[in-house]
Homo-oligomer: A and B are copies of this chain.
Amino acid sequence: MTAAIIDGKAVAARTNEETAQAVAEFTDRTGTRPGLATILVGDDAASAVYVESKRRTSVRLGMADFHRHLPSTASRDDVARLLDELASDDAVSGILLQLPLPESLDTTGLVDLIPPSKDVDGLTTASAGLLARGLPGLRPCTPLGAVELLDSSEVTLSGSRVVVVGRSELVGRPLAQLLLQRDATVTTAHSRTQDLPAVTRDADVLVVAAGVPGLIGAEHVKKGAVVIDVGIHRTETGLAGDVRFDEVVGVASAITPVPGGVGPMTIAMLMRNTLTAAIMVSEPQQ
């Protein structure tokens, strides 16, 4: 058996098309575009590339682009003032504070200045609380993207055994919550887990977000399982994930490649969140 390849690029492109269409409808209806404010503090090259890519996509989908760049010497107050300004600007539907911030800044405190209604990255304490309680709110983009890929492949989540490897604040923990709300039986494994292969072999659906290159091999995967690889690492032979693709492709029934799997979904979900944020604000006024 060779696993079906879950084409994240194609799913992301389809999702973005749907978002663009909904943005056009929103703009026709309200006379305003959904607006995404991106904030870059300092000059980290990778962060600049990510922000650029998000801005370009948002404009392509018809949104308004509000970009702010602060120097690496910006104080906490500088960032806080900017966040407050964007929070009270009705033209800004979503605020994305690109991480990591320079180390001198209080990341948690600053992120929490983003109002939950504009928290399109889903990273604030308020958004985490809404997710934990199963209340409506904006969810983190990468976990949303992983679930969307499973849905696009018509994978049954209700009643299935899902193992999430990794318990990061950005991916593993919110993803476990999303999957639980989809009625999966969810196990979270991590660096302290004993006998990881025994744990992961229970999985009908295995989602790997451990941040460890090549952690998961054929011995970790039940025959016919669906494998989603959230990891992405630069290696000597190119980009690679947390999953040894060449091995696991012979055991799984479906698998995401790296690159071209979860990666493209993250921006697509950010775009959808920005549209959702705009709609949430506009609807009570109709």
User: Which A residues lie at the B interface, using CB under 8 A?
Assistant: 108, 124-135, 158-161, 167, 169, 173-174, 176-177, 180, 183, 185-190, 192-194, 199, 202
Name the contact of A159 in the complex, choosing from B125, B186, B188, B194 (C-beta under 8 A).
Answer: B194
Distance (Å) between the CB of A263 and the closest chain B CB?
24
Distance (Å) between the CB of A121 and the closest chain B CB?
13
Residues of B within 8 A of A185 (CB): 187-190, 192-194, 199
Residues of B within 8 A of A133 (CB): 108, 125, 128, 169
Please, could you name 20 A-B residue pairs with CB atoms under 8 Å apart, sorted by A?
Answer: A108-B133, A108-B135, A125-B126, A125-B130, A125-B133, A126-B129, A132-B132, A133-B169, A134-B169, A159-B194, A173-B180, A180-B188, A185-B188, A185-B189, A185-B190, A185-B192, A185-B193, A185-B199, A186-B187, A186-B188
Distance (Å) between the CB of A170 and the closest chain B CB?
10
This protein's copies in its complex: 2
Q: Are B129 and A135 in contact (CB under 8 A)?
A: no
The complex places the Cα of A199 from the Cα of B188 at a distance, in Å, of: 14
Distance (Å) between the CB of A140 and the closest chain B CB?
11
Name the contact of A199 in the complex, choosing from B128, B161, B173, B183 (C-beta under 8 A).
Answer: B161
Residues of B within 8 A of A159 (CB): 192-194
The complex places the Cα of A126 from the Cα of B186 at a distance, in Å, of: 24
The complex places the Cα of A194 from the Cα of B134 at a distance, in Å, of: 22
Enumerate the 7 nearest inter-chain pairs by beta-carbon distance, A residue then B residue, closest first: A129-B129, A125-B129, A128-B129, A187-B187, A128-B132, A183-B192, A185-B193
- The residue in A129, A134, A158 that gathers the most chain B C-beta atoms within 10 A of its C-beta is A129
Residues of B within 8 A of A160 (CB): 194
Distance (Å) between the CB of A153 and the closest chain B CB?
20
The complex places the Cα of A135 from the Cα of B126 at a distance, in Å, of: 12
The complex places the Cα of A177 from the Cα of B131 at a distance, in Å, of: 13
Residues of B within 8 A of A202 (CB): 202
Residues of B within 8 A of A158 (CB): 192
The complex places the Cα of A186 from the Cα of B180 at a distance, in Å, of: 12
Distance (Å) between the CB of A40 and the closest chain B CB?
23
The complex places the Cα of A28 from the Cα of B126 at a distance, in Å, of: 36
The complex places the Cα of A126 from the Cα of B188 at a distance, in Å, of: 23
Name the contact of A126 in the complex, choosing from B126, B174, B180, B187 (C-beta under 8 A).
Answer: B126
Q: Are B131 and A132 in contact (CB under 8 A)?
A: yes
Nearest B residue to A137, CB-CB: B125
